[in-house]
């Protein structure tokens, strides 16, 4: 099994397939590197080297008690890229992974980075504050923690069955296999990591991180995202980075890399090749 051990003794699992320019994928909460299977196979077939890791406390990485914050997430990603000595890498982050990518680039610099992609991503900041009046009230995230603590398995069925993939929208055909795979990935990880991770993805302010990023950034967001609402995320992030492009997807849900993989993969490839 491919893994590295970080400075604080946490084992981080990763996949590393193929050769060519590296594309590094950062997954969303509470999932794992497996959430990128469709993208990794697609880009592998197009001649790229594809890498994805399980965030600490998620998937096959150590279920550590501590370090479930963006500083540790970014440092763990940096440890993987340094271990593999990646150069000219494209970093792709979905949801929480988008925050991880932004914080990693701002915190560790752009010497190894060619481009970045933020998909349905949590930056600039999700929670409602004085400076972010359009954010979601803190009570929303408190409720997520309460549901997780009460019955994580039930919670991890309800989320993908409804708002995550837009399966609660009229006329949208639900997929039991997609729901079950989300549940499987979630239940592989640690409850403590997932509980703390809700604070990490909702309360971290990435505004200053985004301002530091000079490499080309593609921001992809569906306007029917029920997890990370569009108006307070994608358009703002695209403006804050120095070289950003916003691509808005009409009617697409939060989990669009899975449900609309064909469209997302084609647009990712065009951006990487541009």
Catalytic residue positions, numbered: 95, 225, 254
Rounded CA gap, 108 and 75, in Å? 8
Range 230-239 burial, b when 16+ CB lie within 10 A, else e: bebbbbbbbe
Q: What is the dihedral of CA 213, 118, 238, 266, to 10 degrees?
A: 120
Closest among 224, 207, 232, 261 to 92, alpha carbons compared:
261
CB-based contacts of 234, cutoff 8 Å, min separation 6: 118, 121, 219, 220, 221, 246, 248
């Amino acid at each position: 099994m491919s893994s590295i051990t970080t400075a604080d003794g946490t084992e981080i699992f990763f996949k590393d397939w193929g050769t060519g320019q590296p594309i590094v994928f950062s997954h969303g909460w509470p999932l794992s590197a497996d959430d990128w299977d469709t993208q990794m196979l697609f880009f592998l077939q197009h001649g790229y080297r594809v890498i994805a890791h399980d965030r600490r406390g998620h998937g096959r990485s150590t279920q550590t008690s501590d370090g479930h914050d963006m500083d540790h997430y970014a440092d763990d990603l940096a440890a993987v890229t340094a271990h593999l000595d990646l150069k000219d890498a494209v970093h792709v982050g979905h949801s929480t992974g988008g925050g991880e990518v932004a914080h990693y680039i701002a915190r560790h610099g752009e010497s190894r980075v060619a481009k970045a992609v933020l998909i349905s991503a949590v930056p600039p900041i999700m929670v409602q504050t004085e400076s972010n009046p359009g954010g979601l009230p803190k009570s929303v995230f408190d409720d997520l923690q309460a549901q997780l603590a009460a019955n994580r398995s039930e919670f991890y069925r309800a989320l993908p069955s409804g708002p995550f993939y837009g399966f609660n929208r009229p006329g949208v055909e639900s997929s039991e296999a997609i729901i079950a795979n989300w549940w499987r990935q979630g239940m592989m990880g640690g409850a403590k990591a997932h509980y703390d991770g809700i604070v990490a993805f909702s309360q971290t302010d990435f505004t200053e991180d985004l301002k530091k990023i000079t490499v080309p950034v593609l921001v992809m967001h569906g306007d029917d995202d029920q997890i990370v609402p569009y108006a307070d995320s994608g358009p703002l992030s695209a403006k804050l980075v120095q070289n950003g492009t916003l691509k808005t997807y009409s009617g697409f849900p939060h989990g669009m890399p899975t449900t609309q993989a064909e469209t997302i993969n084609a647009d990712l490839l065009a951006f990487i090749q541009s």
